[in-house]
C-alpha cells in the first residue's frame, strides 16, 4: 500500500482552490487547504507535507514572504515549494526562486500537464531524500 | 793823455777840420739829436778863439756821442776813440789808439778799402751789423754806420757803432715767439689735417652707413623729386638710382591713386611747416613691379641758409609683414570679440587682460577696459573660490587645462550656470604666460535639461503606472481564465463524467477561445514589457538543436493535421549558442506557427546555419506569400496584414512585432522575404553565437 502524497495548497481564490484540489484529489493526492499565508505557514509547521503549492498573489502576506518563512523553518527546508504565478510582474519567476521556491507553474494551469509537472518535483525531492 | 801831447797847431788844424766837417753837416749823424745844439753853439762862437779850448770842446763833443765812435785810417788803424767806445770795449783810450780796427771787429773790408772809400763818397753812409770784441774777449752785436772823410789830407773813416744786444735780445724773443707761433700753426695745421682726415673717414663711414643701411634712405627736393636713393631702397623698390633720380615720388614709389591728386610740392611745404605731423607716418607704397608695401617713414624737412624748405630726408622701414600680422591680429581680435562664447585672458595671477563682448554681456556689463583691474576670481561666486584655488588652479597648472561647470558671478551678484574651459597659453619655451578662459552660458541648456528631466520623470512615472496597470490587468484577467481553462480541461478529460460528442465539440470551442484570449493577454504583456525595456533576459549557453527539435516535435502534429511537411535542416556548427532559450524558442514557435497558419499545401522548412558569428535561422513556407505593399508594415504591432485575413486566420497581430523586439534584444535581426502573393515566404532571424550582451 503506497501512502497518498500529502499536498498543502495556499490559495485565496475559491475557484482556483477548488480546481486545483479537484485535480489533485482525482489523481489520488491528500490535499490540505489554506486561504492565506499566515494560515498556510501555521499548517505547514504542524503537519508533514510532501509538497506545498503556493500562490504568489496572496492578500496581506504575499507568496514570497510566505516562502521565506517556510524556508526559515529547519523542519520545512527539504519540502518542495512550487509557486503558482500569473507571470505578470517583471521578475516574478526569479523572485520566487530567490525566495526559496523549488519551482513554479504558470497560471492559468493546464490540466493536461499539471499532474506530470508536480510528479517531477516530488520525484526530485524523493531522490534528494534518498 | 796823448791829446795833450799833440802840438797846439796840430789840434787847431784838427778842430778846423772838424768845424768844416760839422759845417758840412756830416757830424750831426754821429752826434744824434744833440748835433743841432752843437752846431748852433759852434755857429755862435766856440772854436775860433782858443785852439786849446777848441780841442777841449771837440773832446767833450766827441765823448758826448752816445754811440761807440771810432776814427780809423785807411790802413785800418784806430786813430781816435770816444769815451763810450772805451767803456763798451773795456779798453782805455791809449789801449785802443793804434789798434787795428779788425781787432775789435769793425765791418770795413780793408782788403778792398779803395772801393769802400769810393762808395762812401758824397756823404754816403754804410750801415752794417757785426760783432765787436771786448778786451776781455767777450763779444756783443753792433750796428755800425760808416762814413768817409778827409782829415789833414788823410782819408779817414768815422765809425759810429751802437750795442744792439738789447735789440737782438728783443729780436731773439720775437723770433722765439714766431717759432712758437709757427709750431702752434704747424700743430693747428696737423690737427686740421687730422680733422679733415677724420672727417673724410667719418664721411666715408656715413656714406657706407647710408649705403649699407637696412633702411630706405631717400632725399627729395622741394618738388618731390628724388635726389638720393640708397642701395637698400633701390633693391627694395626695384629701381636703379639713375632710373629714379629727378623723378617725382608720386607715380613711382607713391601710387598716384594714394596721392589723391595732391601736389607733392604742397605736401612738402606742409611738411616743412608742420614737421611734427609728418615726423613718423605709415604709408602704403609701391614697388616697381606694382606690389604694394607698407613703409614706416621718418621725415625731416631740409632748409637752405635762408630757412626756405628745399627738400625732405626720408628714412623708411618695411613694415609690410607687421601690417599683415597686425591685420591678422585685428581679424583675430574681431573673431574673439564677436565669438558667441565668453572669452577672457588673464596673467598668471588671474588679472584680466582681455574680455570679449559676449563675456562682458554675460556678467551684465556694457563695457570693459583693462584699467578696471579685474581678476578672474572676481567672477567666481564666493562659495566656489576655495575650489578654484585648491582644486582647479593646481590641476590647470599640472595638466595645462581644466574644463568643468563653474558658475559665473555677474556684476549684479547673479549666478549664471556656465561651462568653463581654462587653459594655459605658453611661450615658445613652453613656459606658461597667460590663462585663457572660455565660458559657455549654460542657462538655456540648464533650463532645457530641467525640462527634459521633468519630462523624463513624468514619463517614467507614467511608465510605472502603465506597467503596474498591465501587471494588475494581466493578473485580474488570468484569474478567471484559470477557471475557464482549468475546468474546460477537466470536463474534456472526462474527470467530471463522460461528455457526449456535441458537448465535447462545444467544450473544445470554449477551450480554444480561452487559449486565444490567454495568448492575447500574454502578447500584450510581452509587447509592453519590450517597449518599456522591462523584459528580463536569462542568458546562458544552450543546445539550439535540442531546443529546435523539441519545438518541431510539438508543432508537427498541427502541421500534419493540415497535410504539411515540417522539416528541420540544421547545420551542426550552429548547435551551441549563448542566448535566452525561452525567448529564442518563443521566436521560432511564433514563426513556425505563422508559416503553418498561412500555408495550405506544401511544406514548412526550418533551416539553421552559421554565418559570420551569427546563427541564421530561416522559416520558409509555400503559403500565401506577402505582397510588396504589406511588406513594410509586417513587423508593426496590431497590424495583421489586412482585415480579410483576420477573419480567416486567427491571431493577435502582435506575434511578429514581439519577435522583432525579442530578436533585437538578443542582439540579432529579423526580416521577411517573399516573391509575392501566392509565392510563399521566408522569415529569417539571426542570433549572435556568443551572445549579444
Whether B652 shows a pLDDT value over 80: the answer reads no
| B667 Cα to chain A: minimum distance (Å) | 21
Interatomic CA distance for residues B444 and B455, integer angstroms = 16
**Contacting residues of B for A87, CB less than 8 Å apart:** 522
Q: What strands lie across the sheet with B139-151, from one edge to the other? A: B78-81, B68-73, B154-163, B139-151, B126-133
To the nearest whole percent, how much of chain B has pLDDT over 70?
89
pLDDT in tens, B16-25: 666 666 555 4
- The shortest CB-CB distance from A19 to any of B478, B486, B534 is to B486
Average confidence score pLDDT of chain B: 83
pLDDT band with cut points at 50, 70 and 90 for residue B651: low
The reply to whether B479 touches chain A by the CB within 8 Å rule is yes
Give the span between the Cα atoms of A110 and B467, in whole angstroms.
26
Nearest CA in chain A to B489: A111
Q: Are B516 and B650 in contact (CB under 8 A)?
A: yes
Residue-wise pLDDT tens digits, A59-92: 888 899 999 999 988 888 789 999 988 765 556 7
Phi, psi of B533 (to 5 degrees): 70, 25
More confident residue, B263 or B334: B334
Nearest-angstrom CA–CA distance, B487 and B496? 9
A102–chain B nearest CA distance, Å: 18
CB pair distance less than 8 Å for A108 and B474: no
pLDDT level of residue B36 (50, 70, 90 thresholds): very low
pTM summary value: 0.43
Chain B residues with CB inside 8 Å of A113's CB? none
Cβ-defined contact of A88 to B483 (cutoff 8 Å): no
Q: Please answer yes or no on whether B479 and A13 come within 8 Å at the CB atom.
A: yes
Cβ of residue B482 closer than 8 Å to a chain A Cβ:
yes
* Chain B, nearest residue to A110 by Cα: B486
Q: Which residue has the higher pLDDT, B533 or B349?
A: B349
Question: Which chain A residues are closer than 8 Å to B493 by Cβ?
Answer: 111-112
Name the pLDDT band for B541 (thresholds 50, 70, 90).
very high
pLDDT score of B645 more than 80? no
Q: Quick: pLDDT tens for B345-404.
A: 999 988 998 888 888 888 887 777 777 778 888 889 989 999 888 989 899 999 989 999
| pLDDT bucket at B277, cuts 50 / 70 / 90 | confident
B138 inside 8 A of chain A by CB: no
Which residues of A fall within a CB distance of 8 Å from B490?
19, 22-23, 111
Cβ contact A90–B495 (<8 Å): no
Question: Nearest chain A Cα to B470, which residue?
Answer: A88
User: What tens digit of pLDDT does each residue of B51-79 get?
Assistant: 777 778 888 888 888 889 988 888 888 98
Nearest to B360 by CA among B388, B391, B339: B339
The pLDDT assigned to B103 comes to 86
Q: What is the largest CA-CA distance in chain A?
A: 45
User: Cβ distance B396 to B407 under 8 Å?
Assistant: no
What is the CB neighbour count within 10 angstroms for residue B93? 16
pLDDT band, very low/low/confident/very high, at B418 (cuts 50, 70, 90): very high
> Is the confidence at residue B26, as pLDDT, over 50?
no
Residues on chain A touching B487 (C-beta within 8 angstroms): 19
Exposed e or buried b for every residue in B586-624, given b needs 16+ CB within 10 A? Answer: bbbebbbbbbbbbbeeebbbbbbeeeeebbbbbbbbbbb
**Whole-number pLDDT of residue B42:** 42
Kindly state whether B489 is in contact with chain A, defined as any CB-CB distance less than 8 angstroms.
Answer: yes
Given A13, A107, A110, which is nearest B489 (Cβ)?
A110
Give the A:B interface size as CB pairs under 8 Å. 65
The b/e string for B149-176 (b: 16+ C-beta within 10 A; e otherwise) is bebeeeebbbbbbbbbeeebeeeeeeee
Residue B390 has what DSSP assignment?
A: I
Chain B contact set for A91 (CB, 8 A): 536
Neighbour count for residue A40 (Cβ, 10 Å): 27
For residue B539, the chain A residues in CB contact (below 8 A) are: none
The complex scores an ipTM of: 0.80
C-alpha B428/C-alpha B411 separation (Å) is 36
Provide the shortest C-alpha distance from residue A128 to chain B (in Å): 25
List the single residue in B with minimal CA-CA distance to A23. Answer: B490
HSE-CB of B615 using CA atoms within 13 angstroms? 29
Task: Please give, one letter per residue, the 3-state secondary structure of B106-168.
Answer: CCCCHHHHHHHHHHCCCCCCEEEEEEEECCCCCEEEEEEEEEEEEECCEEEEEEEEEECHHHH
- Which of A15, A87, A112 lies closest to B489 in CB terms? A112
Of B479, B493, B529, the CB nearest to A111: B493
Q: Is the pLDDT of residue B610 over 80?
A: yes
Task: Tell me: pLDDT of B160 over 50.
Answer: yes
DSSP A109: P
- Cα B391 to the center of its chain, rounded Å: 36
Residues of chain B with Cβ-Cβ distance to A109 below 8 Å are 482, 485-486
- The reported pLDDT for the residue numbered A87 is 61
Please compute, for residue B643, the number of CA atoms within 13 A of its CA located in the half-sphere on the CB side: 0
In the predicted structure, residue A24 carries a pLDDT above the cut 70? yes
User: Looking at CA atoms only, how far is residue B669 from chain A in angstroms?
Assistant: 24
**Spatial distance between the Cα atoms of B134 and B88, rounded to a whole number of angstroms:** 7
Question: In whole angstroms, what is the distance from residue B344 CA to residue B325 CA?
Answer: 21
Mean pLDDT on B272-288: 83
Whether pLDDT at B517 is above 80:
yes
Which residues of A fall below an 8 Å CB-CB distance to B?
13, 15-16, 19, 22-23, 26, 57, 86-91, 94, 107-112
Half-sphere exposure of B19 (CA within 13 A, CB side): 19
For the segment B409-431, the average pLDDT, to the nearest whole number, is 90
Q: Would you state the pLDDT for residue B16?
A: 66
- Looking at residues A107-129, what average pLDDT do you find? 85
Q: Is the pLDDT of residue B37 over 70?
A: no
Share of chain A above pLDDT 70, in %: 93
Residue A36 has pLDDT above 50, yes or no: yes
Query: How many Å lie between the alpha carbon of A66 and the closest alpha carbon of chain B?
Result: 19
* Span B241-257, pLDDT tens digits: 888 888 888 888 888 77
pLDDT over threshold 90, residue B643: no
Best A55, A93, A107 member to test B by mutation, with max B CBs in 10 Å, is A107
Q: What is the pLDDT of residues B130-149, one digit of tens each?
A: 889 998 988 888 988 888 88
Interface test with chain B among A24, A57, A88, A97, by most B beta carbons within 10 Å = A88
Higher pLDDT, B528 or B67: B67
Is residue B500 exposed (0-12), middle (13-18) or buried (19+ Cβ within 10 Å)?
Answer: exposed
Amino acid at each position: 500500500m503506497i501512502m497518498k502524497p500529502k499536498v498543502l495548497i495556499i490559495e485565496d481564490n475559491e475557484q482556483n482552490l477548488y480546481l486545483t484540489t479537484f485535480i489533485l484529489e482525482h489523481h489520488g493526492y491528500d490535499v490540505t487547504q489554506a486561504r492565506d499565508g499566515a494560515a498556510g505557514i501555521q499548517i505547514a509547521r504542524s503537519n508533514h507535507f510532501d509538497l506545498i503549492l503556493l500562490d504568489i498573489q496572496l492578500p496581506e502576506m504575499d507568496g514570497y514572504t510566505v516562502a521565506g518563512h517556510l524556508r526559515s523553518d529547519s523542519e520545512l527546508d527539504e519540502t518542495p515549494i512550487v509557486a503558482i504565478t500569473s507571470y505578470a510582474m517583471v521578475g516574478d519567476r526569479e523572485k520566487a526562486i530567490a525566495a526559496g521556491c523549488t519551482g513554479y507553474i504558470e497560471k492559468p494551469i493546464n490540466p493536461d500537464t499539471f499532474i506530470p509537472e508536480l510528479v517531477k518535483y516530488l520525484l526530485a525531492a524523493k531522490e534528494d531524500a534518498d | 793823455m796823448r791829446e795833450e801831447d799833440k802840438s797846439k797847431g796840430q789840434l787847431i788844424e784838427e778842430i778846423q777840420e772838424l768845424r768844416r766837417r760839422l759845417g758840412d753837416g756830416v757830424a750831426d749823424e754821429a752826434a744824434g739829436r744833440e748835433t743841432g745844439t752843437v752846431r748852433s753853439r759852434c755857429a755862435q762862437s766856440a772854436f775860433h778863439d782858443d785852439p786849446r779850448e777848441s780841442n777841449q770842446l771837440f773832446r767833450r763833443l766827441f765823448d758826448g756821442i752816445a754811440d761807440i765812435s771810432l776814427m780809423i785810417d785807411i790802413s785800418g788803424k784806430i786813430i781816435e776813440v770816444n769815451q763810450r767806445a772805451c767803456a763798451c770795449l773795456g779798453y782805455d783810450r791809449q789801449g785802443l789808439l793804434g789798434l787795428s780796427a779788425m781787432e775789435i771787429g769793425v765791418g770795413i773790408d780793408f782788403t778792398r778799402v779803395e772801393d769802400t772809400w769810393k762808395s762812401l763818397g758824397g756823404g754816403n753812409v754804410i750801415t752794417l751789423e757785426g760783432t765787436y770784441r771786448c778786451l776781455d774777449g767777450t763779444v756783443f752785436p753792433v750796428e755800425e754806420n760808416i762814413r768817409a772823410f778827409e782829415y789833414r789830407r788823410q782819408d779817414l773813416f768815422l765809425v759810429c757803432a751802437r750795442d744792439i744786444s738789447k735789440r737782438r735780445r728783443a729780436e731773439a724773443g720775437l723770433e722765439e715767439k714766431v717759432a712758437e707761433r709757427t709750431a702752434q700753426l704747424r700743430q693747428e695745421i696737423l690737427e686740421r689735417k687730422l680733422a679733415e682726415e677724420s672727417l673724410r673717414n667719418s664721411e666715408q663711414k656715413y656714406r657706407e652707413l647710408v649705403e649699407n643701411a637696412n633702411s630706405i634712405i631717400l632725399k627729395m627736393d622741394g618738388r618731390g623729386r628724388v635726389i638720393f636713393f640708397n642701395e637698400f631702397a633701390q633693391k627694395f623698390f626695384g629701381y636703379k638710382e639713375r632710373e629714379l633720380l629727378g623723378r617725382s615720388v608720386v607715380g613711382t614709389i607713391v601710387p598716384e591713386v594714394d596721392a589723391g591728386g595732391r601736389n607733392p610740392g604742397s605736401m612738402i611745404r606742409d611738411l616743412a611747416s608742420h614737421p611734427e605731423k609728418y615726423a613718423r607716418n605709415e604709408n602704403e607704397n609701391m614697388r616697381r613691379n606694382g606690389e604694394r608695401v607698407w613703409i614706416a617713414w621718418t621725415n625731416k624737412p631740409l632748409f637752405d641758409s635762408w630757412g626756405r624748405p628745399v627738400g625732405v630726408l626720408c628714412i623708411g622701414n618695411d613694415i609690410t609683414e607687421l601690417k599683415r600680422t597686425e591685420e591678422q591680429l585685428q581679424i583675430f581680435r574681431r573673431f574673439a570679440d564677436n565669438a558667441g562664447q565668453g572669452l577672457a585672458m588673464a596673467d598668471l595671477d588671474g588679472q584680466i587682460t582681455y574680455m570679449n563682448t559676449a563675456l562682458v554681456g554675460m556678467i551684465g556689463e556694457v563695457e570693459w577696459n583693462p584699467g578696471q583691474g579685474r581678476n578672474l576670481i572676481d567672477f567666481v561666486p564666493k562659495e566656489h573660490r576655495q575650489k578654484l584655488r585648491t582644486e582647479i588652479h593646481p590641476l590647470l597648472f599640472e595638466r595645462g587645462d581644466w574644463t568643468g561647470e563653474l558658475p559665473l558671478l555677474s556684476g549684479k551678484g547673479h549666478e549664471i550656470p556656465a561651462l568653463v574651459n581654462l587653459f594655459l597659453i605658453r611661450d615658445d619655451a613652453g613656459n606658461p604666460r597667460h590663462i585663457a578662459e572660455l565660458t559657455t552660458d549654460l542657462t538655456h541648456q540648464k533650463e532645457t535639461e530641467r525640462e527634459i528631466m521633468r519630462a523624463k520623470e513624468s514619463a517614467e512615472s507614467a511608465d510605472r503606472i502603465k506597467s503596474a496597470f498591465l501587471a494588475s490587468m494581466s493578473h485580474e484577467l488570468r484569474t478567471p481564465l484559470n477557471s475557464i481553462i482549468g475546468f474546460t480541461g477537466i470536463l474534456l478529460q472526462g474527470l467530471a463524467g463522460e461528455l457526449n460528442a456535441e458537448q465535447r465539440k462545444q467544450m473544445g470551442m470554449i477551450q480554444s477561445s480561452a487559449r486565444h484570449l490567454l495568448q492575447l493577454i500574454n502578447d500584450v504583456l510581452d509587447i509592453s514589457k519590450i517597449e518599456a525595456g522591462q523584459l528580463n533576459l536569462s542568458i546562458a549557453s544552450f543546445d539550439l538543436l535540442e531546443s529546435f527539435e523539441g519545438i518541431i516535435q510539438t508543432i508537427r502534429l498541427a502541421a500534419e493535421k493540415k497535410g504539411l511537411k515540417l522539416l528541420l535542416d540544421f547545420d551542426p556548427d550552429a548547435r551551441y549558442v549563448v542566448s535566452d532559450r525561452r525567448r529564442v524558442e518563443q521566436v521560432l514557435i511564433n514563426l513556425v506557427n505563422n508559416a503553418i497558419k498561412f500555408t495550405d499545401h506544401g511544406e514548412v522548412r526550418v533551416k539553421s546555419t552559421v554565418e559570420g558569428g551569427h546563427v541564421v535561422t530561416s522559416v520558409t513556407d509555400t503559403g500565401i506569400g506577402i505582397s510588396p505593399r504589406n511588406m513594410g508594415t509586417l513587423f508593426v504591432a496590431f497590424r495583421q496584414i489586412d482585415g480579410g485575413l483576420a477573419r480567416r486566420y486567427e491571431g493577435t497581430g502582435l506575434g511578429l512585432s514581439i519577435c522583432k523586439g525579442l530578436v533585437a534584444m538578443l542582439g540579432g535581426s529579423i526580416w521577411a522575404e517573399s516573391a509575392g502573393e501566392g509565392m510563399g515566404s521566408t522569415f529569417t532571424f539571426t542570433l549572435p553565437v556568443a551572445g549579444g550582451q
